[in-house]
Structure 1
Amino acid sequence: MSVPVLVVGAGAAGARVAIELSEQGVEPLVVGKRDHGDAHTTWAAGGINASLGSLDPDDDWTIHAADTLDEGHYINDPEAVEVTTKHMPDRIRELEEWGMPFDRTEDGRINQRYFGAQSFRRTCFVGDRTGEAMLDTLVAKAQSLEIPYRDNVLVTRLLSDGERVHGAAGYHMESGEFVCFVADHVVLAAGGYSALYHRHSSRDDENNGDGPALALQAGASLLDVEFVQFHPTGMVGDRYGEEWDGRLVTEAVRGEGGRLFNADGERFMERYSPDQMELDARDVVARAIAQEVREGRGTENGGVYLDISHRDDEYVRERLPRMYERFAALGVDITEAPMEVAPTAHYSMGGVDIDFHTGETGVEGLHAVGETVAGVHGANRLGGNSLAETVAVGKLVGDHVATQVGDEGPSLPDSVRALAEREFRALADLEASDGDVTPRALLEALGDCLWDHAGILRDEASLREGLAELDEIRERTADLRVDGDRTGRAFEFAVDLSFSLTLAEALLLSALEREESRGAHYRTDFPETDPDWRRNVLVGADDTGLSLWTRGVGDPSEAVQRALDAGYELDYHHLE
């Protein structure tokens, strides 16, 4: 298939890029590996940030940027932060114009709630199903523009000579047919890699590293891979069942006044953060829960309790409808009883190193956006910023790519065509694998490896053990069993395994390289934040394997620096 622009990934970021391309007169093709409208965006429940000032008129984009840099422990890309925060009010109004049904204040303005570590109420929301409502809105807009889309397509390799991308190779997951996309421009919007961990808030077939791995393989660099956010409140406990283990209990529960208690009935955040309590930064709350469990004050299932039963019953049902319905189906009435929760791998701050005004990766024709990239979030993501980044940067990337599309149409050089043919032969060989080890078993082993050795608490010895375990898992891939079915889950997981192993190695090596504690990266052997480590760790790949280097971080603009110097901070007790 020959197209001017191929967008890989059909969540909010990919959809917003495609909409902008279409409105600029370029017809892209969007491919996704699930049914149309079924993307990980729908799992982002709590809200999307923008400094509208609906409830707190003193808020503005510079304070939003300051909160983001503070939460990111000052290794964010300042330009990325400012581009996102400055554009978000317009993007929210745009979504409103396109029909997104935001919750409203009594006087009709878009309502906003508290989220952890934010100085003001700036998180816009649709109950606790904000991501779903947002993706529905974007898909409806894309359909009104008649943007072409192919679902159930898994891209397995970008067709790149290391300097320029010419398209992508993959297969249709239902028919099994191989597909070759010839394109002058490819935009990667394929998510992150948090699902590499055995406890995570994603579906098992999402966020397994395919976007960053495809970019790395094509010649781009990765950034900040060591930073994986562990959300404090994932579901845990025998009563919920294996299907729900690790699934997110939205931060909106705490934003609406939810309280954390240990097994002894103590509201333990008073020990760790007496001012911000449950609404401190996610890394702070996650480590507090881990410490409570480690010191024997956790539940039998290794968790704690999240309780919102002190709020009015109708208020809870109105503001948290999805959480209320989910737990009711599992036999828990959250208006009367607490939820059992524990930290879960939730979001990858690392990803492809890009220019945030253009999405360019350093490989000509290759762009990236959304959770596939790094830069906005630094060492820890501010809740509500993930959805914000997708539309703020997605529009800019779409606008830039539209200016780069020429009139001649794409072509496929013979050398790159040969690369596509080699990829299809490799996929056919993978399909024929008849060993004794299932891809799912190796993915589970990898998940345990990362949880044990690169989780909330890390040290050099454990990270090196993780790399040794990773080598053993790689050796076992020589004995894969795929059952000869290209349309089956075993084949899909075998493809995922290649991506996941690459990202796991990059993560472990980057975590070993950063000899300090900062944000979501906590080294027990280097427990302090080192000012000399205000640098980013980058990862590249060549024929000899992965290589690492570091780069200094830029400074914010004068306007944002003034907001930082002002020291704005959430007054948690507004909720009491």
Structure 2
Amino acid sequence: MTEAEHHTYDVVVVGAGGAGLRAAIEARSQGMRTAVICKSLFGKAHTVMAEGGIAASMGNVNAGDNWQVHFRDTMRGGKFLNHWRMAELHAREAPDRVWELETWGALFDRTKDGRISQRNFGGHEYPRLAHVGDRTGLELIRTLQQRVVALQQQDAEEYGDPEARLRVFQECTVTRVLKDGQRVGGVFGYARESGRFFVVSAPAVVLATGGIGKSYRVTSNSWEYTGDGHALALLAGAALVNMEFVQFHPTGMVWPPSVKGILVTESVRGDGGVLRNSENRRFMFDYVPDVFRKHYAQTEQEADGWYTDPDRHRRPPELLPRDEVARAINAEVKAGRGSPHGGVFLDVSTRMSAQEIVRRLPSMHHQFKELADVDITAEPMEVGPTCHYVMGGVDVDPDTAAAVGVPGLYAAGEVAGGMHGSNRLGGNSLSDLLVFGRRAGLHAARYAAALGPDRPAVPAQQVETAAAEALRPFSAEDSPGENPYGVHQELQQTMNDLVGIIRREEEMRQALERLSALRCRAGRAGVEGHRQFNPGWHLALDLRNMLLVSECVARAALERTESRGGHTRDDHPEMARSWRGVNLLCTLDDVAQEPEPGIRLTRRQNPPMRSDLLALFEREELGKYYTDEELAP
């Protein structure tokens, strides 16, 4: 029988970024005994990389902003593939979540009259991003982390135990969601330092594990982003939605090679940065799509006027949604007009003084000075697209964040799908974490409380199977077996080259063949030594998740024969109205056939948008996405 530590809680949250911590705080506030499991150290979540700000229509800088405008911008950015109910809830509740952070101690930058300052960002009609310089994600995590500590101090005073109702398990990896029949019963995992197994029994599990970026060679994502939550949900019987939509942030570092892909925050462009090619030409004017021409400047003079009088001028094209800017940069590089190291130039020094740059963009100034020996107060940055975010994720109910079809399973943040449609607007990620993190924690707590004594059990056989799966790399069939690092590098290169920013049918078919071969090789991945301090073992286990998620991305991208948002088909360059409301769902064809179940694709139509929300858009704009029958009264 497998030795494993056993713990019992009401709600277990997998992931300690913004969504996970907000879910845990809410579940604990509902009186539930809550466990948080994080892959790295507490407070080191990848949320800190969301630097520019939190999108919320508080109207502090422009009183014309409101939730309806924020909703409209989000739907436009997602090319109307968003689940409109999620976009509505997000826009309505985001201001409350920001003000809540402030009451918990977050120190935002201020306007001259003392209100929370808000900055411009791509795709947002008004200055909407509440910010702390260019370190907003760090402030968010610090605030939520301190809130957790404060709650634990309350528990210490009330119960004599700081972990009585809220405990954090650091540096632990969850490898399976355990089930009792159809219902969730808890999770199985291991401590990364010691390799010891543990089981947490809980009737409600919230997935808040972030994204999938480590499946790509050039990415802004940190090492934790191996698609764990996506794969855990699949293996538990849930569906993933919109997995073809992967956002390539237009501005990542391109030089030196050791830092390629590290994020260059969009706040550089929000604060006046302009993009130029090797001919010193501000090229973004050539790439404004027809659907956006009404809102974006057509000339450099008009764009420059916006900085001094935004109410009379249209926005600069550098503030187009991220998918549009990334494709434009890619096109310039392919046309031979790129920078010396394969990107383009981003210059903020012509718009802001050196003092302003250091004050408003301290992280970027330090990052380029230390890593690239570039002084951004006097020189342009070299930037290029980097894999940054996946719009696809667990198929959830928009109001409760419950995974469809798996009672007791919830998902929030980047691991959840539907909110952003085909493309996420910058700044919407942090408010998404807070809005749906709270909702996931709230409804997970209510679900657990409603069960009462009728709690699902954790089947011993599932624990034994999960332990055997985790130990398999130590007994690989071949000696010494496949090298997990080699398999990972080939996976990253495959996704980068064949399922990247520009996609073609023959390349994606080739990618699926390679992924199938890599999956077989990953099954033979072997490691030496023992379970203590063994990063090769950790990667061998992560490969399962990355390969499952990569296959979902490739299959969905092959199926969607159009270009929309973060999915660009070179062989189908137009956005097809027939695909507008179509979601692609990925499920495991037969979970019982593990470890080699196949990915099955099905189509589902988005529910029709409420008439009062449709009325927020001009009929001419809606006609680019909807048929006349859909718009009929």
Q: Which residue of 2 aligns with 1:571?
A: none
- Determine if the alignment matches structure 1 residue 555 to structure 2 residue 597: no
- Determine if the alignment matches structure 1 residue 437 to structure 2 residue 455: no
Aligned length: 562
Deviations 1:350-387 (Å, cap 9, x if unpaired)?
Answer: 00000121121120111111111101100000110011
Contact 1:4 1:410 in 2 (8 A): no
Contact 1:432 1:484 in 2 (8 A): no
CA distance in 2, matches of 1:164, 1:409: 11
Shift of 1:397: 1.7
Residue pairs, 1:57-456, within 5 angstroms: 57-146=63-152, 147-160=166-179, 163-203=182-222, 205-238=223-256, 241-242=257-258, 244-273=259-288, 275=297, 276-310=316-350, 311-330=352-371, 331-361=373-403, 362-406=405-449, 407-408=452-453, 410-413=455-458, 416-433=459-476, 434-456=479-501
CA distance in 2, matches of 1:538, 1:435: 38
Residue type matched to 2:68 in 1?
T
Contact 1:63 1:560 in 2 (8 A): no
Q: Which residue of 1 aligns with 2:530?
A: 485
Contact 2:10 2:445 in 1 (8 A): no
Residue type matched to 2:586 in 1?
V
Contact 1:189 1:370 in 2 (8 A): yes
* Aligned-residue identity in percent: 42
Shift of 1:411: 4.9
CA distance in 2, matches of 1:495, 1:429: 9
Contact 1:47 1:131 in 2 (8 A): yes
Shift of 1:436: 4.5
Report the 3-state secondary structure (helix = DSSP H, G, I; strand = E; otherwise coil) of the residue aligned with 2:617: helix
Contact 2:481 2:527 in 1 (8 A): no
Shift of 1:195: 2.3
Shift of 1:409: 7.3
Residue type matched to 1:142 in 2?
V
- Pick closer, same or farther for the CA change 1:567–1:86 going to 2, 3 Å: farther
Residue type matched to 1:325 in 2?
H
CA distance in 2, matches of 1:262, 1:474: 40
Residue type matched to 2:360 in 1?
R
Shift of 1:558: 3.5
Report the 3-state secondary structure (helix = DSSP H, G, I; strand = E; otherwise coil) of the residue aligned with 1:54: coil
Report the 3-state secondary structure (helix = DSSP H, G, I; strand = E; otherwise coil) of the residue aligned with 1:157: strand
Residue type matched to 1:437 in 2?
E
Contact 1:166 1:411 in 2 (8 A): yes
Question: TM-score, with normalisation over the residues of structure 2?
Answer: 0.87
Report the 3-state secondary structure (helix = DSSP H, G, I; strand = E; otherwise coil) of the residue aligned with 2:203: strand
Unmatched 5+ stretches in structure 1 = 569-576
1:504 to 550, 554, 561: 550
Shift of 1:554: 2.4
Q: Which residue of 1 aligns with 2:12?
A: 6
CA distance in 2, matches of 1:567, 1:441: 52
CA distance in 2, matches of 1:350, 1:411: 29
Deviations 1:286-311 (Å, cap 9, x if unpaired)?
Answer: 00110001011112321111111111
CA distance in 2, matches of 1:254, 1:375: 27
Deviations 1:175-213 (Å, cap 9, x if unpaired)?
Answer: 11011111111111111112211100011x222111010
CA distance in 1, matches of 2:609, 2:43: 37
- Determine if the alignment matches structure 1 residue 461 to structure 2 residue 516: no
- Pick closer, same or farther for the CA change 1:514–1:318 going to 2, 3 Å: same
CA distance in 2, matches of 1:182, 1:370: 23
Report the 3-state secondary structure (helix = DSSP H, G, I; strand = E; otherwise coil) of the residue aligned with 1:117: coil
Task: Find the structure with the greater CA-based Rg.
Answer: 2
CA distance in 2, matches of 1:206, 1:162: 30
Question: TM-score, with normalisation over the residues of structure 1?
Answer: 0.95
CA distance in 2, matches of 1:539, 1:299: 39
Moved more, 310-319 or 158-167: 158-167
Shift of 1:461: 0.7
Deviations 1:144-190 (Å, cap 9, x if unpaired)?
Answer: 11121110110001112562111111100011101111111111111
CA distance in 2, matches of 1:278, 1:195: 27
CA distance in 1, matches of 2:615, 2:522: 53
Shift of 1:316: 0.6
Contact 2:180 2:456 in 1 (8 A): no
Residue type matched to 1:565 in 2?
E
Q: Which residue of 2 aligns with 1:574?
A: none
Shift of 1:477: 2.2
Contact 1:226 1:510 in 2 (8 A): yes
- Pick closer, same or farther for the CA change 1:133–1:567 going to 2, 3 Å: farther
CA distance in 2, matches of 1:246, 1:479: 30
Shift of 1:478: 4.3
Unmatched 5+ stretches in structure 2 = 1-6, 153-165, 289-295, 298-315, 622-633
Contact 1:304 1:341 in 2 (8 A): yes
Residue pairs, 1:467-546, within 5 angstroms: 467-486=512-531, 487-534=533-580, 535-541=582-588, 542=590, 543=593, 544-546=597-599
